[in-house]
Amino acid sequence: MSKELINSHYYIVSTLVILAATGNFFLQYERQKPTVKDFVTLAVLSAVAVVSRAAFAMVPHFKPITGIIMICGIAFGSGAGFFVGVISAFVSNFIFGQGPWTPWQMFAYGIAGVCAGFLKKREIHTMPQVLLTAVYGFCVVLLIVGPILDTGSLFMMANVITKETAGAVYLSGLPVNAIHGAATFITLLLFCRPLLEKLDRMKQKYGIMNER
């Protein structure tokens, strides 16, 4: 069997694994029995995330979308964060173009929401807390989200995967991920606290995303 055919199998299998993982997260969230109000709230947040990505389309690699997804994860938990990440990635690609990279982006942005969910129980009111949250967002993009996207690029770009081609893809992705991380840092620094305050009021007033 040729190396090209083997690598195409790797790409197909990896994409199927990502789709299966995405479906698993959706099933887990569905078991929480979200209400119509919950879905409407997540749909609105997904729309905000899509707009934030489209608004900076002219700035290469600057994507505030991940910051918005992480704010959702902080406010409502990992399941909601993953949902918003997957939906916003899929919908925004109707603007930027659908392709074999879409499942990778859906999964990567969803994982950003999952990572943000780990901060759900933490207080984020003071400026030092906001700053630490922004730094956390930068690290999530640089160390997790970016490498996932780079792995997708590796499978799509390289006919034969070697240490050299992998190293070249991941190294070339570092500045891209740094810009993406900076956008996430700035978004969390500027909007994390005010948006969380508004979302907390919505939770209390309308019973959105109550623990079930």
Contacts of 59 (CB under 8 A, 6+ apart): none
pLDDT computed for residue 6 by the predictor: 44
Residue 83: name the closest of 49, 57, 54, 52 by CA. Answer: 49
Give yes or no for a contact between 133 and 74, defined as CB atoms under 8 angstroms apart.
Answer: yes
Q: What is the pLDDT of residue 101?
A: 81
pTM: 0.84
Identify the pLDDT of residue 5.
Answer: 43
Tokens for 23? Answer: 């479906």
- For the chain, strand residue ranges (E) read none
Q: Which portions of the chain are predicted below pLDDT 50?
A: 1-7, 212
Collapsing DSSP to helix, strand or coil, 120 comes out as: coil
- Written as one string, the DSSP assignment of 141-171 is IIIIIHHHHHHHHHHHH-SS--HHHHHHHHH
Distance of alpha carbon 16 from alpha carbon 156, whole angstroms = 14
pLDDT tens string 157-173: 777 778 888 888 899 99
